[in-house]
Copies of this chain bind each other. A is one copy, B any other.
Amino acid sequence: MSLVIAGTIRLPPENLEAFRPHMLAMLTASRAEEGCLAYSYAQDVAEPGLIRVFEVWRDQACLDAHFLTDHLAAWRASWPAFGVSDRRLIAYETLNDRPL
């Protein structure tokens, strides 16, 4: 079944607006990839500067291909300029899913 990727990155809250275009570019490029079923960034409501990442990929091969894209390299390369750090992501292999 699908792979769910979830976790966080951090940046100084005052850098968030300047960093937003990089997040939007990454969302658009990633959602267009083969096997990308969901891809989002969101600001935690309780912790300013904590960005929550959520992704769903059809399978490991699609996720592997994602890691080799130019937009992923550009995304990571942009981090130092905005003080992005503390990447913590978990991959969940899923058995099934259902509306709750």
On A, residues with C-beta under 8 Å from B are 1-2, 4-7, 20, 23-24, 27, 40-46, 50-52, 54, 88-100
Q: Are A95 and B95 in contact (CB under 8 A)?
A: yes
Q: Is the interface of A mostly helix, strand, loop or mixed?
A: strand
> In the bound complex, do residue B100 and residue A90 qualify as a contact, i.e. CB atoms below 8 Å apart?
yes
Chain B CB count within 10 A is highest, among A1, A44, A54, for A54
- Number of this chain's copies in the assembly equals 2
How far apart are the CA atoms of A6 and B24 in the complex, in Å?
20
A27 nearest CB neighbor, chain B only: B46
Tell me the nearest residue of chain B to A5, going by C-beta: B100
Give me 23 A-to-B residue pairs in the complex whose CB atoms sit less than 8 angstroms apart, sorted by A's number: A1-B95, A5-B100, A6-B6, A23-B45, A24-B45, A27-B45, A40-B44, A41-B44, A42-B42, A43-B45, A89-B99, A89-B100, A90-B99, A90-B100, A91-B97, A91-B100, A92-B94, A92-B95, A92-B97, A93-B94, A93-B96, A94-B94, A94-B95
